[in-house]
Amino acid sequence: MNNTQTFYNGGKVFIGLIIFVILVTLPFWYNHGKAAPTPEPQLTEKAKAEKACIRPKDVMKSEHMQILNNWRNTVVRNTNRIYETADGKRFDMSLSNTCLDCHSNKAEFCDRCHNYVAVAPYCWQCHIEKPKETKE
């Protein structure tokens, strides 16, 4: 111990550091190896019976937000309220009255994925979800 500097309380410091690192990384250890399963949105009987949405499923999955945004602009700004699908079916462009008519189970259909990807769309602060399925 002549030329070296003294490391006071070395043991305690290192134990403290180890505990600190463990504590900080605890969430990673805790969740290690168990990734949350990808949620599967549930269809209501009515939606199942309908078979097809206004666009193919993968388009709806990735682009429903853009579609809804277009819908609201067309309806509010251009007063066009009817949407024709590729196979000629016509729908009233309305989140509350058309989308939610089939997908009346917001908790199992919308919220599952939205929670999984941690987005909180504020559609529901104005648009009314179906009353019986309001459990969050």
DSSP code string of 26-95: HHHHHTTT-PPPPP-PPPPHHHHHH---SS-HHHHHHHHHHHHHHHHHHHHHH---EEE-TTS-EEE--I
Residue indicated by tokens 């429903």: 64
Does position 36 bind another protein by CB under 8 A? no
Q: Which is nearer to another protein, 3 or 125 (CB)?
A: 125
d(CA 16, CA 27): 18
- Closer CB to another protein, 114 or 130, in the complex: 130
Give whole-number Cα distances, 29 to 15, 54, 64, 117, in Å: 19, 43, 36, 21
Count of beta carbons in the 10 Å neighbourhood of residue 53 = 19
* 96 touches another protein (CB under 8 A): yes
Instruction: Select from 41, 43, 64, 72 the one that contacts another protein (CB under 8 A).
Output: 72
Span 98-127, contacts to another protein by CB under 8 A: 122, 125-127
Closer residue to another protein (CB): 22 or 128: 128
Applying CB under 8 A, among 25, 31, 42, 80 the residue interacting with another protein is: 80
**Which residue number, 32 or 90, has a Cβ lying nearer to another protein?**
90
Question: What does the binding site for another protein look like in residue numbers (CB under 8 A)?
Answer: 63, 66-67, 70, 72, 74, 76-84, 86, 90, 93, 96-97, 122, 125-128, 130-131
